[in-house]
C-alpha cells in the first residue's frame, strides 16, 4: 500500500522521529559512510519482512545488521582473534564481519535468511551512530534501493527508488565512501574476503600479515552476490578509451567523458562519485562506456561493482 514517505533531517527532532519509527516497526532509510541503508528493527520479523517487500528483494539474500558500538557484536556472535583485530582496526567503519550466531541471539531469522551466521557492521557515520544509539538496538539494513538497481548515495536517490514504499528517509547529504562495506567471513578462523568494499584488501593484508582467502574453495559463500547487480538501465561497456555511437562516456583520470569519476585519478574520489554518476548517466538514457580503473586499493571495489553493472541481465 502506498504511504507518505517523510523526508527527515539530521536534527534532534528528525533523529527522535526516525528512532520512534524504527521502534514502531517501520522502515527508515539512513545515511552511512558507504551508501544509504534501508533500516528496520532486526529483532522484529514483520519489520524485516517489509524490507524485502519494499526492495522487491529475493528472500534468500541475508541482510547486514548495524550496531552502535563494537562491543554490541559480542551479544550475537562467537568472536575470534582475527575478528577482534579487524574490529579494533576498522570499526566504526566500512567493514562487515560474518560470524557464527549464538543460539539465543534474538534476531529475526529473516535477517540471516536462515543461515547459522550473521553479517555485522558498526558504521562510522555520525548520524547513523546517533540513530542507532537513540533506537538502542540492532538495525538490519541493506542498501536503500529497489533490488538490482544502483545503490543510493544521497537521500534523493533513496526517494527516487523507494518513495511511497518506506516510512521515512533521514537525510544527511551525500555518502563519503560511496561503495558498500568490505565483507569478511571466516572459514574456521581463516578470514575470507566475501565482497570488496570501502576497506581495501591491502589494508586488511597489512593488518593481518597475510591476504584474506578468496571465497572459491572455501565452504562459505556470500549469498546474494548476484552476477548482475547495481545495474543502470542501459548497457554498460568497460575498459573503454572512447565512447561508441550512442554511448555516454564515464571517464577516469586522463580518459575523459561526459562525467569523470576523478580527473586526478584519485580512487577514493572515484568511489564516492561512482553511484551518483551512474544515476546521472542513466537519466540521460542510452548506453554507458566506462574508462579503465586500476585494480588496486578502492579500485578493486569499483571494478567489482562495474563488472556487476556490465554483466548480462538475468
Q: Which residues bind ligand TXA (CB under 6 A)?
A: 32, 34-35, 37, 61-64, 94, 96, 98, 112, 115, 117-119, 121, 141-143, 180-181, 183, 185, 194, 222-225
For ligand TXA, the closer CB: 117 or 228: 117
> What SS3 class is residue 219?
coil
User: Three-state DSSP class for 40?
Assistant: strand
Quick one: 143 or 149, whose CB is closer to ligand TXA?
A: 143
Q: Buried b vs exposed e over 76-101: b needs ≥16 C-beta within 10 Å?
A: bbeebebbeebbeebbbbbbbbbbeb
- The nearer residue to Mg ion, 230 or 243, going by C-beta atoms, is 230
**Residue 80 binding target from ligand TXA, Mg ion, none, CB below 5 to 8 Å by type:** none
Q: Is 143 in the site for Mg ion (CB under 5 A)?
A: yes
3-class DSSP state of 45: helix
CA nearest neighbour of 37 among 194, 151, 135, 136: 151
Residue with smaller CB distance to ligand TXA, 193 or 255: 193
Q: Is residue 153 at the binding interface for Mg ion, with CB under 5 A as the rule?
A: no
Given Mg ion, ligand TXA, none, residue 118, with its beta carbon under 5 to 8 Å by kind, binds: ligand TXA
User: Which residues, in sequence order, are CB contacts of 237 under 8 Å at separation 6+?
Assistant: 244, 247, 287, 288, 289, 290, 310
Instruction: Output the smallest distance, CB 5 to ligand TXA, in A.
Output: 18
Residues 6+ away with beta carbon under 8 Å from 153: 35, 36, 174, 175, 178, 272, 275, 276
Q: Does 82 bind Mg ion (CB under 5 A)?
A: no
**Residue 5, interface with Mg ion (CB under 5 A)?**
no
Q: Least separation, in Å, of the C-beta of 169 and ligand TXA? A: 13
Query: Which residues have a Cβ under 8 Å from the Cβ of 210 and sit 6 or more positions away?
Result: none
Total binding residues toward Mg ion, as defined by CB under 5 A: 1
Q: What gap in Å lies between CA 164 and CA 68, rounded to an integer?
A: 28
Q: Which does 183 bind (CB under 5 to 8 A by kind): ligand TXA, Mg ion, none?
A: ligand TXA
Binding residues vs Mg ion (CB under 5 A): 143
Amino acid at each position: 500500500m502506498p504511504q507518505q514517505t517523510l523526508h527527515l533531517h539530521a536534527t534532534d527532532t528528525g533523529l527522535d522521529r526516525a528512532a520512534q519509527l524504527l521502534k514502531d516497526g517501520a522502515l527508515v532509510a539512513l545515511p552511512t559512510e558507504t551508501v544509504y541503508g534501508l533500516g528496520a528493527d532486526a529483532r522484529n520479523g514483520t519489520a524485516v519482512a517489509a524490507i524485502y517487500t519494499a526492495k522487491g528483494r529475493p528472500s534468500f539474500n541475508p541482510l547486514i545488521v548495524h550496531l552502535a558500538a563494537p562491543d554490541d557484536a559480542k551479544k550475537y556472535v562467537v568472536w575470534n582473534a582475527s575478528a577482534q583485530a579487524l574490529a579494533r582496526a576498522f570499526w566504526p567503519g566500512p567493514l562487515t564481519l560474518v560470524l557464527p550466531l549464538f543460539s539465543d541471539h534474538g534476531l529475526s531469522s529473516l535477517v540471516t535468511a536462515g543461515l547459522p551466521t550473521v553479517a555485522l557492521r558498526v558504521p562510522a557515520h555520525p548520524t547513523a551512530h546517533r540513530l542507532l544509539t537513540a533506537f538502542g538496538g540492532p538495525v538490519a539494513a541493506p542498501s536503500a534501493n529497489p533490488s538490482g538497481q544502483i545503490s543510493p548515495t544521497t537521500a534523493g536517490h533513496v526517494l527516487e527508488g523507494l518513495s511511497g514504499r518506506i516510512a521515512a528517509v533521514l537525510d544527511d547529504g551525500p555518502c563519503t565512501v560511496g561503495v558498500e562495506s568490505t565483507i569478511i567471513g571466516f572459514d574456521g578462523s581463516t578470514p575470507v574476503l566475501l565482497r570488496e568494499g570501502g576497506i581495501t584488501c591491502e589494508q586488511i593484508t597489512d593488518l593481518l600479515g597475510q591476504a584474506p582467502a578468496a571465497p572459491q574453495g572455501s565452504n562459505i559463500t556470500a549469498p546474494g552476490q548476484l552476477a548482475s547487480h547495481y545495474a543502470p538501465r542501459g548497457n554498460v561497456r568497460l575498459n573503454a578509451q572512447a565512447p561508441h555511437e550512442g554511448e555516454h562516456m564515464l571517464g577516469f583520470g586522463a580518459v575523459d567523458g561526459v562525467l569523470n569519476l576523478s580527473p586526478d585519478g584519485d580512487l577514493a574520489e572515484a568511489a564516492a562519485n561512482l553511484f551518483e554518476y551512474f544515476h546521472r548517466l542513466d537519466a540521460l538514457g542510452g548506453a554507458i562506456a566506462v574508462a579503465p580503473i586500476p585494480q588496486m586499493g578502492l579500485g578493486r571495489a569499483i571494478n567489482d561493482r562495474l563488472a556487476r553493472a556490465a554483466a548480462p541481465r538475468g
